[in-house]
Chains A and B, each alone.
Chain A
Amino acid sequence: MAVVTPKVPPEKQTLLNVNGDEAVAWAVKQSLVDVVAAYPITPQTIIVEKFSEFVANGEVHTEFIAVESEHSAMSACVGAAAAGARAFTATAANGLALMWEILYIAASLRLPIVLAVVNRALSAPINIHCDHNDAYGMRDSGWVQLFVENVQEAYDTTIQAFKIAEDERVLLPVAVNLDGFFLSHTLENIRILPDKVVHEFLGGYRKIPKVKVDYFDEEVPLTLNPAKPLTFGPLDLYDYYFEHKMHQVEAMKNVPEVVREVNEKWYEISGRRYGDGILDTYGVEDADIIVTVLGSTAGTVRYVVKKLRREGKKVGMIRIRMFRPFPHKEIAEILKNAKVVGVMDRGISFGSYGQSFLDINASLYDLKERPILVNYIYGLGGRDASPELIEKMFKELLEIAETGVVKEKIRFLGVRE
């Protein structure tokens, strides 16, 4: 990865002191979004609250639809995107759960909607703090899922998400995940690009892909257009449903290269990139112990890795930035030389393991020599993952590397007995 001078050097970028939610709102403001439909839910509320200010002040052309539920929010986005709009919404936890059936519809109709998920625990008992089980719940819906580590990345990734979603090789909705409160409500100094540069990056307003159907001689835009009518989502039984699912399978295959390209293109413009866009690694080259993690906890893990490295321990980390599609081959390539891998999940599939553990486990099966894998469930309901706790996990993993003995395949980090 060559170092280049960014097209817009840092001093030409505007410095903002904002929290993660506001950073997302700023990104949406600059992304020429036609429709925003949303319903408030903590810790997402600030995104649409801030964005509605932009609308009220006439700073954006966006049609803002205040809906009566998240189910309606995503439905409105589906309708808007099917009509050719660039559409955005944001939610968290229970709101995301209420969106569930429409998530599948957005993905299978190939509508490039962008959704900010401010990760929060699902009820009951009611809890508004950070947890990834909401995002893991939409794992199989056909959405691209990106997880960010900090507020700057929340801004950058939200803009990138439109670029990824609308790429003709992809045409899938993209969810940008940011940790509730740890990012959504934490102020950070970030740099934002000039509006014009963002517009150019996105290629202006949304471009509509074309489609060929039997009853028109030429390709027609894939939109709801009375002059060139198309039927979206009609009854599709055992004769064609399976074939249509293959379209989603194929589209997902193209996502990694597009995410990588967009990450590099963003780097050329802004000077910022996040690993290769898919995995963000630190100290993995000669590491015996590697920990994988999603979201803001990666910052703490990196801090602990640096500390242990200074003590001479061969440890490293991978931050999984793209969770769907899951980078099976890429992660296996990094983990194949490790002795022990700790997989951190801020969520759990009850009766099974953490959700990223299942994918990493599957990634490694084909290796001739596999590292030992231990799943660490941590931080449920916003429980703090302190450096001390993460260091304790590394110490356990170092001990396993020495002894080869795994007492428990799944560990619960920081829970009281």
Chain B
Amino acid sequence: MSQLRGWKELPLGAVAFRLSTDYKTGDWRALKPVVDHNKCVKCMLCWIFCPDMAVIWDGEKIVINYDYCKGCGICAHECPVKAIQMVPEFEEG
């Protein structure tokens, strides 16, 4: 993380000075979706339902983009074959 800028260095109108893709928002996550590719039938329901477009099709299989996944669990909930498990991001205690 670069040093925080002073107000004199910021652009007019409070517009973002960096691209939105530069801001990684995945660190909000408490639970992390983990895909079992042996179970996955590639129905793409998770890709459709993900509110953050954090499910990506890499040409062969689905991949979770952990830079933006907030861990909401919608993908795991919608998966018809229970191929996605929500795993705690951190060890308890």
Contacts and interface: CB of A to CB of B under 8 A. Distances in A.
A231 B12 contact: no
B15 A213 contact: yes
Interface string A358-370: 0000000000000
B12 A211 contact: yes
Tell me what chain A mostly uses at the interface: helix, strand, loop, or mixed. loop
A247 B15 CA distance: 12
A233 interface: yes
Interface stretch (B1-9, B52-60, B73-81, B83-91): B1-9
Interface stretch (B17-25, B29-37, B38-46, B64-72): B17-25
A239 to B, nearest CB: 6
A234 B22 CA distance: 13
A24 B25 CA distance: 47
Given A240-B4, A243-B5, A234 B20 contact: yes
A215 B14 contact: no
B16 A213 contact: yes
A319 interface: no
Contacts of A240: 4-5, 10
Contacts of B17: 213-214
Contacts of B11: 211-213
Nearest to A230: B15
Nearest to B18: A214
A222 B12 contact: yes
A353 B73 CA distance: 53
Which of B12, B14, B16, B18 gathers most chain A CB within 10 Å? B14
Interface in A246-303: 246-247, 250
Contact of A222 (B6, B15, B18, B19): B15
B7 A243 contact: yes
A388 interface: no
Contact of B16 (A111, A234, A250): A234
A236 interface: yes
Residue from B7, B10, B15, B18 having most chain A Cβ neighbours under 10 A: B15
A247 B17 CA distance: 15
B4 A239 contact: yes
A233 B20 CA distance: 12
B93 interface: no
A20 to B, nearest CB: 32
Nearest to A242: B7
> In which size bucket is the chain B interface?
10 to 19
Nearest to B11: A211
A350 interface: no
B13 A211 contact: yes
Interface size class of A (residues with CB under 8 A): 20 to 34
A110 interface: yes
A211 to B, nearest CB: 5
A229 B36 CA distance: 38
B5 to A, nearest CB: 7
A157 to B, nearest CB: 25
A308 to B, nearest CB: 49
Given A243-B5, A246-B7, A233 B14 contact: yes
A232 B13 contact: yes
Nearest to A247: B7
B13 A222 contact: yes
B91 to A, nearest CB: 28
A164 B13 CA distance: 17
B52 to A, nearest CB: 14
A381 B38 CA distance: 74
A111 B14 CA distance: 11
A247 B9 CA distance: 10
Interface string A203-217: 000000101111100
Contacts of B6: 243
A243 B17 CA distance: 13
Contact of B12 (A171, A233, A234, A246): A171
B46 to A, nearest CB: 26
A138 to B, nearest CB: 19
Q: 6 tightest CB-CB pairs across the interface, nearest first?
A: A243-B7, A231-B16, A246-B7, A244-B14, A110-B13, A211-B11
Interface of B: 4-7, 10-20
Given A231-B16, A243-B7, A247-B10, 19 more contacts: A109-B13, A109-B14, A110-B12, A171-B13, A209-B12, A213-B15, A213-B16, A213-B18, A214-B18, A214-B19, A230-B16, A231-B20, A233-B14, A240-B4, A240-B10, A244-B7, A244-B10, A247-B14, A250-B7
7 contacts: A110-B14, A211-B15, A213-B17, A215-B18, A222-B12, A243-B6, A246-B7
